[in-house]
Amino acid sequence: MNLKYLSEHFETIEANETKILTNDTFLIVRSNAKNFKGFAKNFKQPFDQILYETFQKTMANVMKKYSFNIVLGYTTSDELSFLLSSKIERIKERKILSLMSSAITLEFNTLLAKALNKGLKTPLIFDCRVDAVENIDDVTKYFLWRYKANYLSSLNRILYCYNLKAKEKVDIDILSIEEKINFIKDNNLDVKDRFKNGYAILYYPNDENEKRKVVKLVPKSEQEIFNLAENSIVLYK
How many residues belong to the chain?
A: 237
* pLDDT level of residue 114 (50, 70, 90 thresholds): very high
Compute the distance between CA of residue 120 and CA of residue 130 in angstroms, rounded to an integer: 29
> What pairs with residue 156 in β-bridges?
none
Average pLDDT over residues 160-168: 90
Q: In sequence order, what E strands does the chain have?
A: 26-33, 70-76, 79-84, 126-133, 199-203, 214-217
* pLDDT level of residue 231 (50, 70, 90 thresholds): confident
Q: What is the DSSP letter of 193?
A: H
Rounded to two decimals, the pTM is 0.88
Question: CA 231, 81, 42, 151: dihedral to nearest 10 degrees?
Answer: 60
φ, ψ (nearest 5 deg) of residue 47: -135, 145
What is the structure's pLDDT at 113? 95
Q: Is the pLDDT of residue 207 over 80?
A: no
Q: Within 13 Å, how many C-alpha atoms sit on residue 88's CB side?
A: 27
What is the structure's pLDDT at 16? 65
Question: Which of 102, 149, 144 is closest to 126 using CA atoms?
Answer: 102
CATH number of 3-236: 3.30.70.3000
- pLDDT, tens digit (0-9, with 9 covering 90-100), for 176-188: 999 999 999 899 8
* pLDDT level of residue 13 (50, 70, 90 thresholds): confident
What is the structure's pLDDT at 50? 94
- pLDDT, tens digit (0-9, with 9 covering 90-100), for 36-49: 989 998 899 888 99
Compute the distance between CA of residue 7 and CA of residue 11 in angstroms, rounded to an integer: 6
